[in-house]
Chain A
Amino acid sequence: MGASRDLDFSEYFAARVQRFRRVAFAFCGDWHQAEDLVQAMFVQLYRRWRRVRPDTVDAYARRILLNLFLAGRRTSVREYVMASPPDQESPPGRDTPVRLDVERALSGLTPRQRAMVVLQFLEDLPVAEVASLLGVAEGTVKSQTARGVEALRAVLPAPTAEER
């Protein structure tokens, strides 16, 4: 029973870890913190693994991740102390001007606004599901997301004629 549970869980982890790490990164803007959030999410998920229905496991995991992120905004998940700055060179494409602008625009949003934008545009969730996840009205999600999108558009290159 335990072995089968671990096997299922391992398969789910392998299939979803990268996707959830990207969502976590979009939430917080830091890869180390994103990994912490995702690890904490999988640890919590494991505790209830037998009770979660297979068709709702993604939604359940997403809810855990979101709660961890929002709770971590109040009490930091983990603090990193480094003796000196890392001397490794950033991977190619890591600090492109557009990427830095997007990061700046996202960091100007409140944690909940940022979560709304990420869930709607990176996870492609409908407004109703985002509203349910955050416990707010759909109208709130629409208005808050509109402000987030506006902030992002302000830093994005103007779309070409074909993109329009």
Chain B
Amino acid sequence: MEDVRSALTAYVTEGEPPLGLSTSGVLASARRSRRQHLLTGAVALVVVALALGLAVVVLPHRAPVAGPPCPSSSDTRSALVDRLSCVVGKAVRSLLDPEAQITRLTIPGETPPEDPFHLIADAIGDAPGEAIFHMGVRVTDSLGSGSVYVLILPTGNAGGPPCGEPDEITCRTEPTPQGTMWLSTLRTGDAVKNRVALAVPNALVQFWSTSSGVLEQKDVHLPEQRPEPTLTLAQVRQLALTPGLGL
């Protein structure tokens, strides 16, 4: 191995040019590099701190993502269901906590659709709008489980649910540019329900929200699963006024 060692030593020593590096030059470069290194670290630290601060300030108040627009076609029953489901889904989601879990309320044996807001259309005629459109979702958040329902009836100029029901807590009517509105808060089983109906020219649009995550059905006593209905009466009113819910 000595021959290899000697050959390598000769390779690096024979004809070796004079040293082009000086102590002062390298030291100056090293000091400059060290300063830049420290400065870069400090700047990076400041940037990270600013980014974290910005995230803390901005993220909790960020606006919900708009998402793609809803389809506008109502030529067929299926297209109308898609359009209404999209409008209802967007409107309800915009009022809920982004962390809330939304699941479809179903009767035994019913398979929940992929989109929990997909409306059921019970036909009462042949035209696309001649059907009863409805659905309900359970909403579970940090306060417990509640629900939100929608019912759209193709009964032009029909009245809303009249005041004076047995379990009524409050009830009133209100004229709006879109049509007459009925607003009530009722007791249903152990739960409470906020309900708003709006009579538009060709339909009655009704939303309600309860403080129980159990499906509302005839002869079913609803347990209270959160202190208040998922949506306040004002929020339910806002839902009823959502544009694009006519048939």
Contacts and interface: CB of A to CB of B under 8 A. Distances in A.
B60 interface: no
A55 to B, nearest CB: 22
Interface stretch (B15-23, B132-140, B189-197, B238-246): B15-23
A15 B1 CA distance: 28
Contacts of A124: 5
A91 B17 contact: yes
Contact of A152 (B7, B12, B14, B37): B7
A122 B9 CA distance: 7
Contacts of A93: 14-15
A62 interface: no
Contacts of A43: 26, 29-30, 33
Interface in B1-55: 1-5, 7-17, 19-21, 23, 26-27, 29-31, 33-34, 37
Task: Give the size range of B's interface with the partner.
Answer: 20 to 34
A153 B3 contact: yes
B28 to A, nearest CB: 10
A122 B16 CA distance: 15
A31 to B, nearest CB: 5
A159 B3 contact: yes
A99 B30 contact: no
Interface string A123-145: 01000000000000000000000
B17 A99 contact: no
Grouping DSSP codes into helix (H, G, I), strand (E, B) and loop, the A interface class, with mixed when no group exceeds half, is helix
A39 B30 CA distance: 9
A9 B23 CA distance: 9
Contacts, number: 98
A122 B12 contact: yes
Given A14-B23, A35-B21, A46-B31, A121 B1 contact: yes
A35 B21 CA distance: 7
Contact of A117 (B8, B10, B33): B8
A102 B30 contact: no
A60 interface: no
A47 B3 contact: no
Contacts of B12: 22-23, 25-26, 122
Contact of A98 (B10, B17, B33): B10
Contact of B8 (A17, A31, A92, A102): A102
A44 B12 CA distance: 24
Interface of A: 6, 9-10, 13-14, 17-18, 21-23, 25-26, 31, 35, 38-39, 42-47, 90-96, 98-99, 102-103, 106, 117-118, 121-122, 124, 149, 152-153, 156, 159, 163
Interface of B: 1-5, 7-17, 19-21, 23, 26-27, 29-31, 33-34, 37
| A-B complex: 6 closest residue pairs judged by Cβ atoms | A94-B15, A46-B30, A22-B12, A93-B14, A93-B15, A43-B30
21 contacts: A6-B27, A22-B13, A26-B8, A26-B11, A26-B12, A39-B21, A42-B30, A43-B30, A44-B33, A46-B31, A91-B15, A93-B14, A99-B15, A117-B8, A121-B5, A122-B9, A152-B8, A156-B3, A156-B4, A156-B7, A163-B2
